[in-house]
Amino acid sequence: MNILDGIRAKRFVVVGRVGMDLFTAPGVTTEDATEFQADMGGSSANIAAGLVKLGAKAALVTCVSDDAVGSFCLRKLRDYGIDSSYVKKVAGEPRTSLAIYESRTENHRNVIYRNNAADFQMTVADVEAVDWSAYSALVTAGTVFAAEPSRSAAFHAFALAQAAGLPIIFDVDYRPYSWSSAQDASDVLSRAGAMSDVIVGNDDEFGFMAGDKARGLDMARSLVAGRAQIAIYKMGENGAVTITPTGEDRTGIYRVDALKPTGAGDSFMAGLLASLADGYDLRDAVLRGSACAAIVVAEPGCAPAMPDAAALSAFLSDHPGPG
């Protein structure tokens, strides 16, 4: 199965964390808040939610704590239509991650609690329990590699996916607070990138992997010169560069009145993959992913703000393409 065949089959297995998000009402600071809205969070879970909303199927592979927060996350996965068959509860001290963030862009604050994170307890046995023949593509985000035993399990998942003929889609998603050192993160994320068929990251992330932000674009190009068939080098408000073995393509962004900065990357990935799955060419899929990102930053929350097909179509009809 080639990369596009796997994506177009729309059966995604997503490896990585699910967590609880608590976010304020629009414009309210954390210290002034008297109530918070609770919903599902975590990069991998958000991507899975976006994929399902856009018509694909997605299963999540991770661990949650055997407590009320873990149960909340399992309930939310079911509510979003994500298959949670491979989400394992772990007892003891590990805890499901918790994010508290503000629905504002000016002086935005985002606090993430990931001490002894439950998702890092995912093991090789957990990924070996997955029926890889039931899926057509693997998606993951970089946080899954930040600690053991999750790191070894995620690399084993890559090997199992490759053996089953699944394309590997990797969002670099570098979060410094999750890693023991910058050098460890650079080495491990570069190794994961070299094993991936599609790799998505921003200029800071590719630059970090390269050891210098000025060499980030060259890093993305080198991954395509190796195994990857697609690398997408995101540059914030300056758009993105899509790199393939046949050339490069620059695209812009959809400008909106942003409510908060969180969730854009997860929504971009879901929109990109769902659009490729629906038969759009790569340039249009990147633009549709950018539209999904714009939709999410203009609404409260991450998973709840992910658009479905109708919301994406309505947005595109009201917003001329950036080119």
- Identify whether 226 is part of a domain: yes
- Identify whether 26 is part of a domain: yes
DSSP letter at 246 equals T
Query: CA-to-CA distance for 71 and 62, rounded, in angstroms?
Result: 13
Neighbouring-strand partners of residue 140: 15, 170
- Identify whether 323 is part of a domain: no
- Identify whether 188 is part of a domain: yes
Query: CA-to-CA distance for 193 and 209, rounded, in angstroms?
Result: 9
pLDDT band at 322; cut points 50, 70, 90: confident
The pair of structure tokens assigned to 164 is 């089953």
Is residue 144 pLDDT above 90, yes or no?
yes
- Identify whether 121 is part of a domain: yes
Domain count of the fold of the chain: 1
Q: Confirm whether pTM is higher than 0.85.
A: yes
CATH of the domain at 248: 3.40.1190.20
Put residue 13 in one of left, alpha, beta given phi > 0 → left and psi -120 to 50 → alpha. Answer: beta
Residue 171 lies in domain: 3-318
> pLDDT tens across 81-127, in order?
999 999 999 999 999 999 999 999 999 999 999 989 999 999 999 99
Is residue 1 pLDDT above 80, yes or no?
no
- Identify whether 269 is part of a domain: yes
Mean pLDDT of the chain, nearest integer? 96
CA proximity to 47, closest of 238, 293, 239: 293
The alpha carbon torsion through 289, 293, 299, 300 (nearest 10 deg) reads 120
Neighbouring-strand partners of residue 185: none
